[in-house]
Structure 1
Amino acid sequence: MERALEKLMYSSRWLLAPIYMGLSLVLLALAVKFFQEIIHLAPSMLEMTETNLILAILTLIDVALVGGLIVMVMLSGYENFVSQLDLSEGSEKLGWLGKMDSGSLKTKVSASIVAISAIHLLKVFMNAKDIDDNKLMWYCLIHLTFVVSAFGMGVLDKISQKK
């Protein structure tokens, strides 16, 4: 009975596979949105102010960072929790694939969130004249919370690696 229960629990990790596959669909939707933004940006690019162009570019960078975050979570999560990716020798393989445990994945995810938050905060500051001071303070506090959390997770990861 115990052996059957353990085998069932171990096999249940495959329930995560469709979730990681779903992330690839989210990545596709993000790519569509990215190119939609470029198509929207292209005709008006020459008439845009420098500030508006920078804001549009920051939006594209933001989307690219989120896409990278999705790929990182999707592939390393699959490898860590479901099954090892068996790529043929001739195919290209990402350098970090197979080397990222769940602790380092958390650290990289939190660092990506800080980067995404920083870009959003930069976009907010570029429009600061249109935003209430109270809201600016909250944006800064939320970003600082992400930074402190990422730092704390990195410190905890280093401490746990030493033991």
Structure 2
Amino acid sequence: MLKKAEQRLEKTIFNSRWLLAPFYLGLVLGIILLFIKFFQELWHMTTHVFSASEADVIVAISAIDLLKSFMDIPKEMSEGDADRLMWKVIIHMTFVLSGLLFALMDKIVGDTKKH
């Protein structure tokens, strides 16, 4: 009796794997779509990297360094650490503002009628 119940339970569990098959196929399809989207974004980024101006590159490097600084914030920050972080933010925002001003100047020059 107990052996029969065990065999029936094993057979039920083994056969129920087909109930999960659609979920697995959906997960595989989702991963494939994520890979496609990732490679599209990667291609888009690489095409923009080669056409980026110096200001864009400086702002990007500053942003990476600032992100690294934010990731390494200690639990107990000294006043020197806080000042260093504050100056990194100020310098980064200066780069961003100068990049925006350069873009604005390019737009103004491009919209000006030629005589």
Output the TM-score relative to the length of structure 2: 0.47
Kindly indicate whether structure 1 or structure 2 has the higher relative contact order, using CA contacts under 8 Å at least 6 residues apart. Answer: 2
- The higher radius of gyration belongs to 2
